Amino acid sequence: SEGETRPVRTFSIGYDRDYASYRNELEFARQMASRIGSEHHEYRLGVDELVDFLPRMVHLQDEPIADPVCVPLFYVAKLARDNGVTVCQVGEGADEMLIGYPNWLQALERQQMDDWPVPRLLKRAASSALDLAGYGHAWQTEYLRRGGAGQPLFWSGAEAFSEWEKQRLLSPRLKRSLRGLTSWSAIAPIHARFRARAWDQSPLSWMSYVDLHLRLPELLLMRVDKMTMGVGLEGRVPFLDHRLVALAMSIPSSRKASGGRLKHLLKIAVRGLVPDALIDRRKQGFGVPVDELFEGRLATLAQVQLDRFCDETDLLDRGEVNRLIQSGQGSKIWYLLNLAMWWREYITRDVPAAA
């Protein structure tokens, strides 16, 4: 911003109120805007507006991306475009390259425990016992299964369902046609390349590697591209300049997360440019209050759409889908609703307006 002849324009999105599952970050955006003297714009998104946008979101996505963040991302892109911006910068990539996700540190602890000299046979026996005790759905059981199979515990930063849950959700016909295919079938070749080529074989390095190959291009960059281009805005990603990526990936992961401090090196680099209060605050992901959304009209829409999807496709187990809806697990219901609406848009070519 220092080299510009006019103030940089900045844009932020929030919601009409704070929710239990997501609190607005507008105030922090204002602090940063004030620090750099930007021309700042913000928009508050209402629940009805969010729900009404779903059919268009599905159309713009092209693929069943299934990320609710596509909604606020579209509206903040629209805010920028409405204010005359045609090219913007977004921050994707820094977390993957420089270790910025809190759940990666939790995954590191789990992997370190799994690396203890415990026989795989014992891990398999423990996971089987938990299955029999009714805890097959628990992620702890899933990690024991992976450890017992000699697999890394971390497969992606975008896992929604455990393998146990997926097997329950799939219809008998689909399971037969898959012939034992699991998500590991997609992860295994990536893991093999990592083991063969990566100079840093640490668990954190693996997390960076797999998410740079899967979650970043297939989810995060995809949603940025689809939602920004949906309003005629080009989103550019400066952190993914190939020279910066090469530099970041040449640094040992132990240096990037020194003492368990997320994005440690980046914070050192921008200290003095960004207010300390923003650098040192607890990380909060860009999110959507999906649990609260399914307490209203979105729950009815999900039931109708998923009932029809089960009738027309025989891909999912209706009983398990209904159990999931009744359980109120908003994020998981969202993923299935997104799949059902995408199917109607791109396979049967029939998407209704939101209920």
Instruction: Report all structural domains of the chain as residue ranges with CATH numbers, in order of start.
Output: 9-44+69-98+214-280 (3.40.50.620), 102-156+159-194 (no CATH), 294-346 (no CATH)
Query: What element of type H or E holds 87?
Result: strand 87-89
Q: Which one-letter amino acid corresponds to residue 181?
A: L
Query: What element of type H or E holds 252?
Result: none
272-287 as b/e: b if 16+ CB within 10 A: eebeeeeeeeeeeeeb
Run means of pLDDT, 10 residues per run, the chain, 355 residues: 81 93 92 95 93 94 92 97 97 96 96 96 97 94 97 95 95 94 96 97 98 96 97 97 96 93 94 93 89 85 95 96 91 95 90 51
**CA atoms in the 13 A half-sphere facing the CB of 131:** 13
Which residue do the tokens 């911003």 mark? 1
13 beta partners: 43
Tokens (6 digits) for 88? 């913007």
Instruction: Count the neighbouring beta carbons within 10 Å of the beta carbon of residue 269.
Output: 12
Instruction: Please give the backbone phi and psi of residue 328, each rounded to the nearest 5 degrees, phi first.
Output: 75, 25
pLDDT recorded at residue 355? 46
Which residue do the tokens 């390095």 mark? 205
- CA 82 to CA 80: how far, in whole Å? 5
pLDDT recorded at residue 47? 87
Q: Which residues contact 166 (CB under 8 A, 6 or more apart)?
A: 182, 183
- CA 83 to CA 87: how far, in whole Å? 11
The residue count for the chain: 355
Pairing mode of beta strands 234-236, 87-89 = parallel
Q: Which residues contact 152 (CB under 8 A, 6 or more apart)?
A: 111, 146, 191, 203, 206
| 8 A C-beta contact, residue 47 and residue 296 | yes
12 beta partners: 42
- CA 190 to CA 292: how far, in whole Å? 37
Which residue do the tokens 């080529």 mark? 197
pLDDT recorded at residue 351? 54
Which residue do the tokens 């929604």 mark? 160
- CA 220 to CA 247: how far, in whole Å? 21
- Measured in whole angstroms, how far is the alpha carbon of residue 111 from the centre of its chain? 21
Instruction: Calculate the dihedral angle through the C-alpha atoms of 254, 260, 26, 293, rounding to the nearest 10 degrees.
Output: 100
